[in-house]
Structure formats: structure tokens, C-alpha cells
Structure 1
Amino acid sequence: MADTADVTEDGVRRRDFIYVATGAFGAVGAAAVVWPLVNQMNPSADVRAMATTEVDISGIAAGQAIKAVWQGKPVFLRQLTPAEIATANKVAVSELRDPQTLAERTKPGKEQWLITLGVCTHLGCVPLGAAEGENKGDYGGYFCPCHGSHYDTAARIRKGPAPKNLEVPPLTFKTDTLVEIG
């Protein structure tokens, strides 16, 4: 015979309420335990702060370059001269070890701005050529003093052991004089 003492008028038993309350309490407890474990996998505040960086390029004259830092790596920002652009565009892409045109390495409408990571693709040294008076190598771009890689004005590998061109980071032009890297 069924126990009718704990059944209410609408047919719900007190035991059903206890089961639902226990399940809800257990779910909240499980979430309270799991949340810190999942949250600790998020990047730390210092990493999030370095996710992007903005650089003012208004002070860079044609033919000059500056260095910035993004995610702990050097970044070269160079305003190419019309002669450097012409020289880069004359190179037969089929002759290159890592074939890319200058247009593929720059943003449309901003072809004079070449922005690359300043890390040699051979063993991670910082190439010369961004600062005034530094050796720009045989092709007028960058020269890695560690093992002798030479990059052209479009930062494409032309000579030496480096397997790839200097990497172009993700970037957007916020204004004509402000670039966001990352």
C-alpha cells in the first residue's frame, strides 16, 4: 500500500522536492569546484596586455625604420621609398626561396609600410638594418649577423641559411598614422 502521508494536493511528494534540491545543490557545488580549474587555463593579465600593441608611425620618414615590441618580440616598422618598392617589385618571385610579392606582405593602399617581426627565421636572432647606420645586407633590407642571412627591401630571404621570409604579424591600420599589431 502506498504511503499517502507525504503526497501534497497537486501530487508532488516531499521526497521529489528533496531529490531536486539535492541535485541542484550538487550541481552548484560541482560548478564551484570546476570553475577555478577552467579559469586557471586562461591567459594571465600580463599576456592579455601584450596581445596587441599600437604604434604611432607618423614620425617615420621614407627610408627609415623603427623597432617596437609585441609579445616580447621585436617588430620592424619601415616606410619604404619609391625606389625600394620598385626594387622589390622587380624581383622575379620564382627566384625566391619563400616566394611572396611585396603586395602580399603589405596592406592594400599602404604598400609603403612594411611591418615584420624582427626575428630571423633561421635560429631566432635579431637582424640588423632597422636602425640608422646598421648593415642592411647585400639586398638593402636586413642582415642577420648570427649566420649571415640577407633579406631584401621586402624582408624576403635572398641569401643565407634562413628558410623563410621575416614574418608579417597580424596588423590593422587604425588611422593613417596608427597601427595595431596583434
Structure 2
Amino acid sequence: MADATGAAAAEPKNIGETSETGEGGVRRRDFINIAAVSAAGVGGAAVLYPLISQMAPSADVLAESTTEVDVSAIEPGQAIKAVFRKQPLFVRRLTPKEIEEANAVPLSALRDPETLAERTKDGHLDMLVTMGVCTHLGCVPLGAAEGENKGEFGGYFCPCHGSSYDTAARIRKGPAPTNLVVPDYVFSSDTTITVG
């Protein structure tokens, strides 16, 4: 009787069924798991791709990400206004006197200490490029156009709250906490700068 019971326990219950630990069952289960995870991954990617790609900047935004400015026509003592990322950009060619005045100011006298050399590019000490936005509340300072008030320090003057900047566009008087911002730019040629 013991032999009949032992033999019955060793036989599979149904014909064609494999045991849980059998090699065929593990492979089948692994394949199903891999297929399910792969399908979920492809489906997730199909859902996420449009969401992520719509956050990329459009062509018109990419076009505005850099601005080229021809500086060949700017005479010493003259400034021009340009637009960079929908904000005013001031480009000024300093005179030797303005350079001398900027270099004569001790850094200890400045609220936001920076030398003129730190605010310009090597070999182009006479070309000052700054954003035309006052660092107090975002007004546009005067001093870039011909005949505008340059303030008592000869640079820029903000008419909103009276901030005065020197010839290196450094804050000297008024509520503005920092100097006018110098954006990232390079001289792409001797007569052209690329901002951004």
C-alpha cells in the first residue's frame, strides 16, 4: 500500500502539467514578466515623450536666445541700445577719460565691488556691454541715448528711484543693490559681439 501511495504522489495531477520548480514553468513565467515590463516601458515612453517634448523651447524662442550686435559704428563716448531676450541691452564704447575715471575709483568705495577689467573682455576694455535694467526694481536707466541724463557719475541714471551708475555701469548712489548686469557675450569678430 505504501508503494501505491508513493507512486501516486510522484505522478503529476494532470497530463502535460509541469511542476512549479520545473524548468519549463520558470522560463514561461520569466518571459511573461519581461514582456509585461517591456510593454509598460514602451507605453510609458509613448505617454511621456509628447509631454516632455512640448516643454522644449520653440524655434522663435531659440532664435531670441542669442543676439548679434555690430559695434563697428559706435564712436568713443557713444552707446547704443539693442534687445536681448526681450530686455534692453546697452553697448557703450568708453573714451580714454571714462576708462581712467572708472579705474580711479577705489573698490572700497563701491557697493558692489568690480573693476572695469572684470566687467569687460580682454583686449576690449573700451567696450562695455550691460543689460539696460536697473537692479532695483527693473526700470530702464537713462544714459544710452544722445542727450539723456547720465547722472552725477557719468554712466547711467535710473529715473524711477534715482539710482546712479558710473562709467563702468557700477552702482554708486541710490537704492539699486548691485551693478548693471553684464550678460554672457563673446566677440565673434573685431566688430561683432554675440550675446547669450
The two structures have a TM-score, normalised by structure 2, of 0.82
- Partner of residue 114, structure 2: 100
- Partner of residue 73, structure 1: 87
Quote the Cα distance in structure 2 between the aligned partners of 1:164 and 1:22: 58
Q: How does 1:51-70 map to 2 (within 5 A)?
A: 51-70=65-84
C-alpha spacing 1:133/1:20, structure 2 compared with 1 (3 Å): same
Code of the residue aligned with 1:97 in structure 2: it is: R
Are residues 1:24 and 2:35 paired?
A: no
**Aligned pairs, number:** 177
The two structures have a TM-score, normalised by structure 1, of 0.88
Question: Higher helix share goes to which structure?
Answer: 2
Quote the Cα distance in structure 1 between the aligned partners of 2:162 and 2:92: 21
Name which one, 1 or 2, has greater alpha-carbon Rg.
Answer: 2
Unaligned 5+ segments in structure 2 are: 1-11, 19-25
- Partner of residue 154, structure 2: 140
Encode CA deviations 1:60-89: one digit per residue, 9 max, x unaligned. Answer: 111110001111110000011111101100
Unaligned 5+ segments in structure 1 are: 5-11
Are residues 1:38 and 2:45 paired?
A: no
**CA-atom RMSD in angstroms:** 2.0
Code of the residue aligned with 1:60 in structure 2: it is: I
**Percent identity of equivalent pairs:** 66
Encode CA deviations 1:36-66: one digit per residue, 9 max, x unaligned. Answer: 2222332333332221111111111111100
- Partner of residue 132, structure 2: 118
Are residues 1:49 and 2:63 paired?
A: yes
Quote the Cα distance in structure 2 between the aligned partners of 1:123 and 1:21: 58
